[in-house]
Structure 1
Amino acid sequence: MVPRPRTEDLGTSPRPEIPEPVFGAPDRLRGTVVGVVITLIAVVTRFWDLTHPTDKGTPVFDEKHYVPQGWQVLTGGNWIEHNPGYGLVVHPPVGKWLLAAGEWMFGYGPMGWRFFSAVAGVAIVLAIYLMVRRLTRSTLIGALAGIFAICDGVLFVQSRMGMLDIFQALFVVLALAALIADRDQVRERLHRAYLQGRIAQTPYGPRLGFRWYRFAAGVSLGLACGTKWSGIYFVVFFLVLALGFDVAARRAYHVPRPWRGVLRRDLVPSAASLAVLPVLIYLATFAFWLRSETSVYRYVVGTEVGQSGPFAWVPAAFRSFWYYETGILEFHEGLTNAAGNHHPWESKPWTWPMGLRPMLYAIDYGPDQCGGDDCVRAQMLVGTPALWWLAVPMLAWGLWRLIFRRDWRYAPVLVAYGAALLPWFTTIDRQMYYFYATAMAPFLVMGLALCCSDVLASAPRGQNSEKRALSVLAVSFYVALVVVNFAWLWPILTGAPISNDMWSNQLWLPSWT
């Protein structure tokens, strides 16, 4: 039996026998007030002049694909979309359902196209604030993360576009938030078991019961996959992260065999929630496709697919579905530079961490744009340099803290960032764009907020007041720099009219042109 620690030891020992029983930030009232303020600022920035820019009243850039499909979902009668231009719908339906919901509320216009994108953008800011607040047990650091999320150009622009990427980013962020909450809940249950003397009743530790947060993470991952296929990367990475959390928790509470305990107690339910459940939800998103008479490729058995063969026993609906899914895969595999597919604004993943090759979404020249003077209205997807240009130092610092200082807070940030970036290096020849990096942005700002936390922690309150003042001043200066940088970029993030000289001043790097 593992001895219980004395209460006084928990507060005074530099290496307590078990972790201190803190499962979330303690200042709930202040946390709620700050969260409301952060959310209101996000609402104002995301919804301000949301109906601009447009292409003479029509969607801009890739809105031209997804906005009409959302309208087809709404008006087609079966909650499915068709694409007569290509003969194939290449993305799952969840994001287009959300676009359709906005168009149902506000009609086929810019507000309808972008309403739920803006809602998703606001929700991402709030979720980042809550996640970092829980990670650091600090409302201040959570607020810094929220400010960074508000001021990031990628999250901002994608929150104001009728595209799919912001919805996938939302579901991925919600999945990670649920896993972090699950970590706290598991440790709270283990803490109770430890105090009750139940930890070592078996070598594998106690059973933890049903874990609703982990279930919620699985639902969110399923919706991420139901928005874009790249959500599957997060399924794999987050399953590994969840199991790592479980091993660390059982070790922290002195389970005799923590690894075997995870294999026997946690592996199967974790896989069920974080791997099987997302697949089931993904399949469920095609329920309307399966029951519709007009779905693309719904009835190909007997025409494109033979009625005999080794898989003849499989129901025709599922054979048609398999044919449809393989067609989507072939479509994406064919979008390669080697096959002659090129775009003037395409980029490769090694440019994404620092945002070296942004994207021009819309541009219009002429005197009519600003009351008689020659000017430009341009909207670019560009990450705020004060944030994105520090991505590599943040990643290096986070790895060092995680490996050598066992700072667990960086684990979810680095894993999620890796899931958003690393898999793209396996398909370098594929045609790619900077908006694929939308899913990286939340974890970039979270990592930078953790770095600010480390700067402030380097000089605790009451110790070396001069060093403390310098650390506070450094963080304050950096936050101000981020806000000013975002304000400077505002015209090219929103498509506001600016002079030609101002437009030239906004293009900081040759690769931005």
Structure 2
Amino acid sequence: MLAFLRRPLPVALSIAIVAQILFLWRLTVPGILMFDEIHYVPAARRLLALDGPANVEHPLFAKMLIAGGIALFGDNALGWRLFSTLAATAVVTGVFALLWLGTRRLRPAVTGALCALLGFTVFVQARIAMLDGYMAAFVVTGAACLLWAMHGRPAQVRRRWIAGAVLLGLATGCKWTAAPYVAFAGIALILLKRGRPDRWRGMATIPALLLLGGVSVATYFATFAPAFFYTHEPLTLATILPFQLYMYGQQTQVLPAHTYQSSWWSWPLDLRPIWYLYEPVDGAQRGVLMIGNPAVLWGGLLAVAACAIGWLRTRDVRLGAAAMLWIAGFVIWAIIPKSLGFFYYYYLPSIWLCIAIAVAFDHWRARVAGWDEAYLLLVAGLFVHFYPILSAAALSGPRAFTRWMWLPGWA
């Protein structure tokens, strides 16, 4: 049994099974639409009926997946959310894969995967029909495929690279905020092959970049295929490019102030989470708070800083990659022209913190022996403490939320 658990695949599968069970438990509570489900579930219904465009500020693919859940399991809470749980499990497993491929050690891979599983944000997004969960799943698994390609034989490299490009194209087909990761992948390829040309053996830099860009863009546009069959206002080959400009206009329009809006710089500090739900429903007072596990969000910032400083001193590629993944994923929000910001935009950068935490513990493992276990106990303890307001559990009354309000902005 112990030998079984020393191999990466059985361990990854075990974590994935645990994650999926956790995400599925009481998935249908609440039985009503919550937060942005009020936008995406109706859009999925229209997409399923091929009725015409809806929620046109975002691409189609994540809404297609929500529609698929409705088609298979009914227009109910299970149908709306089931595929979101699979996306979240893919995120947890993808974090494991990235760390295993990057370090070839099980301990950091397990540490990062458990931080993602218990870091609040993945759990909450697993249980709601929103676009970000799907987008993150394809970005994380796409990145894992591209890294897997680096370790392949020449005959495998091209196939794995194409698979990663397809996944990044699907991620962009869920939400445009995935698009910068195609560029990040290209930059990483250039830098890593410059240091060691034998990486991604048999694939030269320029052809690899063209393949990455061409496949991801082609995949993105392929996700619009259902729109060509709308009964009202169908897309055509002549209108699909102008439609992208229309989407951009919708994305960048000035919106009225929102109760839960927050500035991008505040997200890493966990200052203004979002109540996805707080009301009497299904026979009890219930709440769902989109918030980050303080041990992961705040501890992750220390890990990013440690990785960045460690890279400057040692030029260890793993440290630099872990730090830059979070830095690049976060800084893009200072550039993206959105009139309003919300904490859930930080979902993907919050996942990269788990990578930095695991890499930092692994790099300095001789100095911090056992600390990673204590840290994971803290992360798990906070998950248990906050579980009632992450999972829409029954609460004692309308003021029950005060038990968990550590900071003024959390209320």
TM-score (norm 1): 0.74
Residue 396 of structure 1, CA deviation? 1.1
Q: Secondary structure at the match of 2:286?
A: strand
TM-score (norm 2): 0.92
Greater CA drift, 122-131 or 44-53: 122-131
Greater CA drift, 409-418 or 117-126: 409-418
1:478 paired to 2:387: no
Residue 209 of structure 1, CA deviation? 8.6
Match of 2:40 in 1: 66
Could you tell me how far apart the structure 1 residues matched to 2:328 and 2:4 are?
32
CA offsets per residue over residues 477-496 of structure 1, 9 Å max, x none?
11100000011110010111
Residue 211 of structure 1, CA deviation? 1.7
Could you tell me how far apart the structure 2 residues matched to 1:502 and 1:475 are?
33
Structure 1: segments with no counterpart, 5+ residues: 1-25, 190-207, 254-260, 299-316, 370-375, 459-470
Match of 1:289 in 2: 227
Match of 1:113 in 2: 80
Match of 2:241 in 1: 322
Match of 1:13 in 2: none
Q: Secondary structure at the match of 2:174?
A: coil
Match of 2:277 in 1: 362
Does the CA contact (< 8 Å) of 1:455 and 1:475 recur in 2?
A: no
Larger of the two Rg values belongs to structure: 1
Could you tell me how far apart the structure 2 residues matched to 1:51 and 1:484 are?
25
Residue 244 of structure 1, CA deviation? 1.7
Does the CA contact (< 8 Å) of 1:234 and 1:416 recur in 2?
A: no
Does the CA contact (< 8 Å) of 2:84 and 2:127 recur in 1?
A: yes
1:389 paired to 2:298: yes
Task: Pick from 254, 264, 272 the counterpart of residue 210 of structure 2.
Answer: 272
Q: How does 1:198-277 map to 2 (within 5 A)?
A: 211-250=158-197, 266-277=204-215
CA offsets per residue over residues 222-276 of structure 1, 9 Å max, x none?
10111111111111111101222222222899xxxxxxx99xx623222222212
Match of 1:153 in 2: 120
Identical counterparts, % of pairs = 26
Does the CA contact (< 8 Å) of 1:358 and 1:380 recur in 2?
A: yes
Match of 2:263 in 1: 348
Could you tell me how far apart the structure 2 residues matched to 1:320 and 1:134 are?
42
Could you tell me how far apart the structure 1 residues matched to 2:273 and 2:329 are?
17
Could you tell me how far apart the structure 2 residues matched to 1:140 and 1:402 are?
21
Could you tell me how far apart the structure 2 residues matched to 1:429 and 1:89 are?
16
Could you tell me how far apart the structure 2 residues matched to 1:489 and 1:209 are?
44
Relative to 1, partners in 2 of residues 1:152 and 1:209: Cα closer, same or farther, differing over 3 Å? closer
Does the CA contact (< 8 Å) of 2:287 and 2:392 recur in 1?
A: yes
Does the CA contact (< 8 Å) of 1:413 and 1:446 recur in 2?
A: yes
Residue 81 of structure 1, CA deviation? 4.8
CA offsets per residue over residues 436-470 of structure 1, 9 Å max, x none?
11111221111111122134233xxxxxxxxxxxx
Structure 2: segments with no counterpart, 5+ residues: none
| Larger helix share, 1 or 2 | 2
Could you tell me how far apart the structure 2 residues matched to 1:231 and 1:428 are?
15
Q: Secondary structure at the match of 1:499?
A: coil
Residue 427 of structure 1, CA deviation? 4.2
Residue 29 of structure 1, CA deviation? 5.5
Relative to 1, partners in 2 of residues 1:148 and 1:498: Cα closer, same or farther, differing over 3 Å? same
CA offsets per residue over residues 47-82 of structure 1, 9 Å max, x none?
01001124xxx31110011111112222x1x4x753
Could you tell me how far apart the structure 2 residues matched to 1:293 and 1:322 are?
20
Does the CA contact (< 8 Å) of 2:111 and 2:372 recur in 1?
A: no
Task: Pick from 51, 55, 62 the counterpart of residue 28 of structure 2.
Answer: 51
Task: Give the AA of the match of 2:346.
Answer: A
Does the CA contact (< 8 Å) of 1:103 and 1:113 recur in 2?
A: yes
Could you tell me how far apart the structure 2 residues matched to 1:368 and 1:100 are?
28
Could you tell me how far apart the structure 2 residues matched to 1:284 and 1:427 are?
24
Residue 422 of structure 1, CA deviation? 1.3
Does the CA contact (< 8 Å) of 1:241 and 1:415 recur in 2?
A: no
Task: Pick from 8, 21, 26 the counterpart of residue 31 of structure 1.
Answer: 8
CA offsets per residue over residues 302-354 of structure 1, 9 Å max, x none?
xxxxxxxxxxxxxxx34422332211111111135xxxx21010112111223
Residue 183 of structure 1, CA deviation? 2.0
Could you tell me how far apart the structure 2 residues matched to 1:45 and 1:227 are?
24
Could you tell me how far apart the structure 1 residues matched to 2:220 and 2:281 are?
46
Residue 420 of structure 1, CA deviation? 2.6
Q: Secondary structure at the match of 1:389?
A: helix
Could you tell me how far apart the structure 1 residues matched to 2:229 and 2:394 are?
48
Match of 1:505 in 2: 403
Could you tell me how far apart the structure 2 residues matched to 1:405 and 1:141 are?
19
Note the aligned Cα RMSD (angstroms). Answer: 2.6
